[in-house]
A and B are shown apart, each in its own frame.
Chain A
Amino acid sequence: MKTAHWALPAVVIAGLVAAGCATAPREIQPVTANDLAIMKASFQEKGQAKLDRLDQDEAQKLCSHPPSVRIPAEVSARIEKNNMATIKYPADGKLMGDWKAGEVIAQRGVGKQFSDDPKTPSGGNCYACHQLSKNEISFGTIGPSLYNFGKLRGGPTPEMQRYAYGRIYNSQAFSACSNMPRFGHNDILTEQQIKDVTALLLDPNSPVNQ
C-alpha cells in the first residue's frame, strides 16, 4: 500500500461499499512540486488573491482527500491539537457581542474573493452552509442546522460561549478537516465580529433561539 502524505500507512476507506457507491474509492496522491508549479503557473494574482493562497498549511495538506477517505485517529488528533493552540480568546473576557450585528455577518457572503474590496469587512456567510433562524428560508446544508442552537445547548453558559467562540475561530480544533472555514485563525472575521456571531447563536433573544 502506498503511503499517503500524512506519513502514516493506514488510510481507511470507510463505508463506501455499504453506501452503494459505484466507483472505486481512490486515494489521492499528494501534489508534487511539479504539480504545484503547474498550478501556480495557471493562476494570476488579482485583487487581494495572491499566489500564496496555494501554499497549503499542515491541515490543508492533510485534508486534501475525498470525504470517503478517513484519516487515521492520531493524525486527526494532531490536527485538532495544533489548531486548538491557535485560538485566541478576547482579552476582555467577553465572548458575546450583539446578535443583530451577528445576523448581518451571518447573511453576508462576500470577503476575500478577488472580486471583493479588501477594505470592506468580510461576512461569515453562515447561511450558505447552515440553517440558523426560522425566518430565513434561503440556507445551505453543507453544515448541520443551528436553529435553536443556544436553546438546545442549555443557553449562554460560560462553557458554551467558549465552545461557540472557539468553533467559529477555528473549527478544525474540534473536528479535523472540517469543511467550515477557520474564521478567526485565517483573519476572515475580526474578534468583534466573532463575538457578534457568538451572540447570534447563544443570546436568548436572537432569532436563532426563537
Chain B
Amino acid sequence: MTRLIGIAALLGAIFASGAHAQNTTLDEIARYRAQLQDGNPAELWEARGEDLWKQKRGPKQVSLEQCDLGKGRGVVKGAYAELPRYFSDADKVMDLESRLLHCMVTLQGFSRADATKRVFGSGSSRSDYEALAAWITSESRGVVMKVSLNHQKMQEAYELGEKAFYFRGGPHDFSCATCHSEDNKRIRLQDLPNLTQKKGAQLGYTTWPAYRVSQGELRTFQWRINDCFRQQRFPDLVFGSELSIALTAFLAYNANGAAFNAPAIKR
C-alpha cells in the first residue's frame, strides 16, 4: 500500500505543473507504466470499494452484499463481464453503475439525490461508484466478456446504442463515429480505437475502468462516455441514464469474446 501511495504521489507530481509538452508526457507515462508493472494505483480504489461493498450503510444499515449484480445476491465474481443486462426486479436494462444506484436506493434506503451527489470523484471529494466499480470489475479480470441480447429489452438497448453512436449533432456535427469508426486514426497524438470493429470495441471496452494518470483519478465507463459527449459538444450525459446504458450495452456486446482486463492504467 505505501508503495502505491508513493507511486500515486509521483504521478501527481508529474502532472501538477500541467505544462509539459504532450510527447514528453507520453514518454513519462510509458516510463512510469513500465515501473508500475503490477502496481496500478487503481488498487487504492479497489481496496476502498471492497470495504464499501461490505459495510452496512444508508438509512437501512444494510451492506451491498444483498445486491444482485445479475448472478445472484452478493455474487461479484464474473458479474461485470455479463453487464449490462436485463433485471426483472427493476424491469430494466442496467449497467454496473445504474445497478449500484438501484441497490443503494432500494436496499440501503438512500434517496436518489443522496446517492447521486458525487458520481465522479475529484481529489478529496471521492465517488463511491468509482471505488465500488474498481473492486467489482477487478473481480472479472480475465473473464471472457459474455453480454447477452436474448432479452427483448437488451435488444432494444443495443439498437438505441447503435443509433446513438452514429447520431450527429451539436455545433461540430460530431457523433461517436466521427472519431471512432475508422482504423488507425488519431486526434493530435491520441490513438482513436475503431469501436465499430470487434478488435477496437474489445480494446476500448475491456480496459475500463482505468486509473487516469493525467487526472490522478480512477474513472468508470460512465465517465468515459460522459467525457466523450462533452468533447462531442453535447450536453451533460446524466449518470445512469437510459442512453448511457444503451451505449454501454452496444459497446459491451461488441466486445464479447475478449477477456476483460481492467482496472487498467491510462494516460
A interface residues with partner B (beta carbon < 8 Å): 21-23, 26, 28-31, 35, 38-39, 41-46, 49-51, 53-56, 59-60, 63-67, 112-115, 127-129, 137-142, 172, 179, 181-182, 186-188
Contacts and interface: CB of A to CB of B under 8 A. Distances in A.
B166 A113 contact: no
A60 B171 contact: no
A44 B236 contact: yes
Given A31-B163, A35-B163, A39-B243, A50 B235 contact: yes
A39 B164 CA distance: 8
A172 B166 CA distance: 17
B204 to A, nearest CB: 15
Contacts of B167: 31, 39, 54, 56, 64
B94 to A, nearest CB: 14
Contacts of B192: 142
Contacts of B197: 21-23
B207 interface: no
Nearest to A51: B235
A42 B243 contact: yes
B171 A53 contact: yes
B173 A186 contact: yes
9 contacts: A23-B197, A38-B243, A53-B235, A112-B172, A114-B230, A141-B184, A141-B185, A142-B192, A186-B173
Contacts of A172: 173
A85 B27 CA distance: 47
Contacts of A50: 235
B238 A140 contact: no
A203 to B, nearest CB: 24
Contacts of A45: 235-236
B236 A114 contact: yes
B187 A129 contact: yes
B185 A42 contact: no
Contacts of B182: 67, 142
Contacts of A55: 169
B235 A66 contact: no
Interface residues of B, number: 48
A142 B185 CA distance: 6
A44 to B, nearest CB: 5
Contact of B169 (A56, A65, A114): A56
8 closest A-B pairs by beta carbon, nearest first, are A42-B243, A42-B241, A46-B236, A43-B235, A181-B172, A53-B170, A49-B235, A60-B168
Given A35-B160, A38-B243, A53-B234, 15 more contacts: A38-B242, A44-B238, A45-B235, A46-B235, A51-B235, A53-B169, A60-B173, A63-B168, A65-B166, A128-B187, A138-B189, A140-B190, A142-B179, A142-B185, A181-B172
Nearest to B160: A35
A141 B244 CA distance: 28
Given A28-B162, A139-B188, A63 B173 contact: yes
Given A28-B162, A41-B242, A67-B182, A112 B23 contact: no
B198 A22 contact: yes
Contacts of B164: 31, 35, 39
Given A35-B160, A64-B168, A140 B235 contact: no
A141 B164 CA distance: 24
A55 B169 CA distance: 7
Contacts of A26: 162
B57 interface: no
A174 to B, nearest CB: 14
Contact of B163 (A22, A28, A127, A142): A28
Nearest to B170: A53
Interface in B142-181: 159-160, 162-164, 166-175, 177-179, 181
B97 to A, nearest CB: 14
